[in-house]
């Protein structure tokens, strides 16, 4: 199983250094986006991890430089009664990427192996069935040409506790705290066991997991994006040239003088 880790965890990366290193990666993500549009390839990225690991932050970092018409973020709410009666993977299928698109899942079908299993939202039999079906489902996606990446963001319990406390203290972050999050604090070991079972059953040659250290979230984002860009097939495409036509002789402000009142 691939582990993508920072070289040093002695100190968290500062914002200025992070932004300096993020800039070149954003240009490479733009190249990836143009390559997807040029080739019609489909890119699917699953971002998984414990509560407070930093899933939303890395998804924002990836999606920020991309055209929102071709980069979609999927964060599904809890299933409805109707969805609970369907084949488990069915609610995720409509959100899979089409040609030229990238889809980023903020949690995915792996909810069944994690939070649902630990919190008792599904039966052990349903969890076991999922662990058998997930590699088959993902093999079908990969065989059909989908470029599938699965990332697990690792975070130590002490770091998780710090982030929970930060959310509790910050009114603008308190919405991130849910009853499930608070219950998860006392089930750290159970989540660890569930993760081990999930990784053992679903780490395959066609859809491997990559674990990224997110105790330092800024450093973790850079490592994950670097891995994603470097692992994709060769994706260089020529830059489209845009020519600006000359402006009319009469400035627009003269042509529309008096027509509008500035504020």
Rounded average pLDDT over 79-87? 95
pLDDT in tens, 144-180: 999 999 999 999 989 888 888 888 888 877 777 777 7
pLDDT for res 4: 58
User: H-type helices in 144-187, by residue range?
Assistant: 157-169, 179-184
Cβ contact 180:119 at 8 Å:
yes
pLDDT band at 194 (very low <50, low <70, confident <90, very high): very high
pLDDT for res 252: 60
Q: CA nearest 118: which of 48, 49, 192?
A: 192
Helix (H) / strand (E) containing 104: strand 102-106
Residue 7 pLDDT greater than 60, yes or no? no
Rounded average pLDDT over 96-101? 98
pLDDT for res 169: 83
The model's pTM is 0.86
pLDDT in tens, 8-22: 445 899 999 999 999
Residue 212 pLDDT greater than 90, yes or no? yes
* Residues 118, 190: Cα–Cα separation, whole Å: 6
> What are the structure tokens assigned to 207, written together?
């859809």
* Residues 32, 37: Cα–Cα separation, whole Å: 9
Write 192-196 long-range contacts (CB < 8 A, 24+): 194/113, 194/114, 194/117, 194/118, 195/114, 195/152
* Residues 146, 150: Cα–Cα separation, whole Å: 12
Return mean pLDDT, the chain. Answer: 90
DSSP SS3 for 41: coil
pLDDT for res 240: 75
List of domains in the chain: 13-255 (3.40.50.300)
pLDDT for res 129: 98
Residue 204 pLDDT greater than 50, yes or no? yes
């Amino acid at each position: 199983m691939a582990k993508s880790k920072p070289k040093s965890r002695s100190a968290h990366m500062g914002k200025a250094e992070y932004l300096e290193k993020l800039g070149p990666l954003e240009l490479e993500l733009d190249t990836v986006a143009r390559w997807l549009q040029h080739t019609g390839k489909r890119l699917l990225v699953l971002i998984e991890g414990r509560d407070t690991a930093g899933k939303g932050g890395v998804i924002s970092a990836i999606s920020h430089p991309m055209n929102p018409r071709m980069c979609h973020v999927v964060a599904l709410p809890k299933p409805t009664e109707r969805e609970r009666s369907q084949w488990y993977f069915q609610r995720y299928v409509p959100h899979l990427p089409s040609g030229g698109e990238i889809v980023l899942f903020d949690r995915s079908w792996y909810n069944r192996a994690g939070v649902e299993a630990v919190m008792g939202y599904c039966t052990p039999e349903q969890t076991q069935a999922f662990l058998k079906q997930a590699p088959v489902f993902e093999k079908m996606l990969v065989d059909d040409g989908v470029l599938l990446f699965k990332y697990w963001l690792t975070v130590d319990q002490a770091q998780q506790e710090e982030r929970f406390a930060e959310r509790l203290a910050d009114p603008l972050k308190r919405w991130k705290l849910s009853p499930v999050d608070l219950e998860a604090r006392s089930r750290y070991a159970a989540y660890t066991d569930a993760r081990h079972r999930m990784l053992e059953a679903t780490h395959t040659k066609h859809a491997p997991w990559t674990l990224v250290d997110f105790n330092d979230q800024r450093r973790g984002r850079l490592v994950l994006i670097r891995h994603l860009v470097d692992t994709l097939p060769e994706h260089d495409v020529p830059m489209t040239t845009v020519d600006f036509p000359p402006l009319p002789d009469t400035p627009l402000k003269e042509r529309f003088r008096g027509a509008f009142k500035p504020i």
